[in-house]
Amino acid sequence: MNANPPRTASSYPGVAVTPLPRGWRSGGHGLPAVTAPRTPDPADPLLAHGGGRASGVHPGEEPATAVRAEDGLATGGHAGEGPAGDGERGEGVPSPLVTAPPPEPEPGEPGPATADPAATPQPETAAPGDPAEATDSREGEVDDASVPTGVQATPRRAAAPGEWHGIVLVTGTDTEVGKTISTAAVAAAAQAEGLRVAVIKPGQTGTVTGAPTDAEVVTRLAGPDTVKTLAEYPEPLAPLAAAKVAELPPLELYEVVDAIRAEADKHDLVLVEGAGGLLVPMGLRPGGDVWTFADLATALGASVLVVARAGLGTLNHTALTLEALSRRGVPAKVILGAWPAEPELVHWANLSELVPHLVGALPAGAGSMDPGVFRRSAPGWLTPALHGVLDNWRVWAEEAG
Ligand SMILES: Nc1ncnc2c1ncn2[C@@H]1O[C@H](COP(=O)(O)OP(=O)(O)OP(=O)(O)O)[C@@H](O)[C@H]1O
Ligand SMILES: C[C@H](N)[C@H](N)CCCCCC(=O)O
Ligand SMILES: [Mg+2]
């Protein structure tokens, strides 16, 4: 006898109106949404991986002040309860996922550029460490350690809390979770809204395998205005390890920051895809210390999308990633990279836990779609926060289940 019989969405907490199973408490407990946000502690070694600066908190600002996420979702509720705001995580209960607001746009900042439909997307690749690809954002700086936190970290076009314009980083709970497909979906939805979109892959590893690069996949599926890879390494390893074994220059944090900011000057949305998960060693700082994708997020003051699996094990991986971002004061939301065609008990259970964090869910197989179908479908997989039209998880679950 099957202990976990298939169920419909309407029988699951968080996406349903039916009562919870006995003893079931839903709504993301165990995930950081129910914990108070940590105030970033400059002495916290996690805030300064490899001895680098801890940023994301700006001079004169109160760090990690919690505000409620505004993502336009009529969700986040619990079984037998109404939409978000009801129940134990009710109105006035702060979400730690939107913490220190990103900095205000600089005075005189130009508005969003108009879309250029004539632009031809072309993946570009710079040689690792190619100085022509990224000017040094640290020009004129004195010493890395003496620079006040965040002074150089102001993005050209910052997004307000809960908004996903400007520079947005895409990480995952692991490698092979659907970061590239999700990046393509967000790019497609944003382009459909008329935004000029760039996608940047700082470190592409595993080129020796002959598989399409992430830039090629994004170009095929979404065709953003600009797609760039900053460095390619042959072996399928973390970028820093791949650079070492190939004896190629590792990615340098501030060259990557500059390359991303340069695209932010020319686009409304710059999606930056990491490699593997949040704390994968990406490259070296000028002083020789390791930097991670989390360091890139704090250096840019950017929000982060976390692409997660839908199946067993995702709650822990997602909670760990969100906690690491929360303690750095980085706003974050979650996308399910591949929702199965035939979801089982575990998928519905995980969905109910993750709904308060979710801003998107892609169907498994989306990456194999015809690009035209992919582009037309993408807005339906994403909430309005990500330029999509998905505004009710219960309705989505009924259709997806
Ligand atoms: N929604 C999806 N539809 C189709 N294929 C998918 C989907 N999500 C993931 N995949 C497949 O799973 C694999 C991993 O996906 P993807 O390349 O997006 O991973 P990733 O998280 O970007 O990994 P990496 O760390 O290597 O960049 C790929 O082979 C991809 O084709
Ligand atoms: C090659 C692979 N597909 C990714 N691009 C790199 C993943 C690095 C993961 C490192 C790790 O967490 O152990
Ligand atoms: Mg990828």
Q: Distance between CA atoms of 99 and 52, rounded to whole angstroms?
A: 21
DSSP 234: S
From the CA of 174, give the closest atom in ligand 2: 12
Q: Indicate whether 114 belongs to any domain.
A: no
Measured in Å, residue 175 CA sits from the centre of ligand 2 at 5
Q: Indicate whether 5 belongs to any domain.
A: no
Q: Indicate whether 342 belongs to any domain.
A: yes
Q: What is the reported pLDDT for 400?
A: 84
DSSP 167: E
- Residue range(s) defining the domain that contains residue 245: 10-17+30-35+42-106+119-136+149-400
Q: What is the reported pLDDT for 399?
A: 86
- Tokens in use for 52? 């680098």
Task: Tell me which residue has tokens 């309860």.
Answer: 81
Number of domains forming the structure of the chain? 1
Residue 343, phi then psi, degrees to nearest 5: -65, 145
Confidence band of 264 (pLDDT split at 50, 70, 90): very high
Residue 177 annotated in ligand binding: yes
**Nearest CA residue ID for atom 2, ligand 2:** 236
The per-residue b/e assignment along 154-191, b for 16 or more CB within 10 angstroms, e otherwise, is: bbbbbbbbbebbbbbbbbbbbeebbbbbbbbbbbbbbb
Q: Residues with beta carbon < 5 A to ion ligand 3? A: 179-180, 214
**DSSP β-ladder status, 290-292 and 281-284:** antiparallel
Residue 162 annotated in ligand binding: no
**Nearest CA residue ID for atom 18, ligand 1:** 178
Measured in Å, residue 214 CA sits from the centre of ligand 1 at 9
Q: Distance between CA atoms of 84 and 65, rounded to whole angstroms?
A: 21
Mean pLDDT across 266-293: 97
Q: Indicate whether 73 belongs to any domain.
A: yes
Q: Indicate whether 111 belongs to any domain.
A: no
Predicted ipTM? 0.90
Q: What is the reported pLDDT for 31?
A: 58
Q: Indicate whether 2 belongs to any domain.
A: no
**Nearest CA residue ID for atom 27, ligand 1:** 275
Over residues 145-188, the pLDDT tens digits come to: 332 333 333 344 555 555 689 999 999 999 999 999 999 999 99
**Nearest CA residue ID for atom 15, ligand 1:** 178
Q: What is the reported pLDDT for 125?
A: 54
- Tokens in use for 249? 């220059």
Q: Distance between CA atoms of 281 and 316, rounded to whole angstroms?
A: 21
Calculate the CA 360 to chain-centre distance: 11
Q: Distance between CA atoms of 108 and 131, rounded to whole angstroms?
A: 29
Q: Indicate whether 23 belongs to any domain.
A: no
Residue 3, C-beta contacts closer than 8 angstroms, at least 6 positions apart: none
Give SS3 for 124.
strand
Class of residue 147 by CB neighbours under 10 A (exposed 0-12, middle 13-18, buried 19+): middle
Residue 378, C-beta contacts closer than 8 angstroms, at least 6 positions apart: 184, 185, 186, 188, 189, 192, 222, 388
CA angle 317, 320, 321 (to 5 degrees): 85
Mean pLDDT across 360-375: 98
Question: Which ligand lies nearest the alpha carbon of 235?
Answer: 2
Report whether pLDDT(331) > 50.
yes
Residue 61 annotated in ligand binding: no
43 or 280, higher pLDDT: 280
Over residues 78-130, the pLDDT tens digits come to: 222 222 322 222 222 223 222 333 333 333 333 233 333 333 344 555 444 33
**Beta-carbon count within 10 A of 357 CB:** 24
From the CA of 366, give the closest atom in ligand 1: 3
What positions carry a catalytic annotation? Answer: 201
Q: Indicate whether 3 belongs to any domain.
A: no
Measured in Å, residue 201 CA sits from the centre of ligand 2 at 13
Looking up residue 197, the CATH number of its domain turns out to be 3.40.50.300
Contact 329, 195 (CB under 8 A): no
Q: What is the reported pLDDT for 398?
A: 87
**Beta-carbon count within 10 A of 129 CB:** 17
Q: What is the reported pLDDT for 303?
A: 96
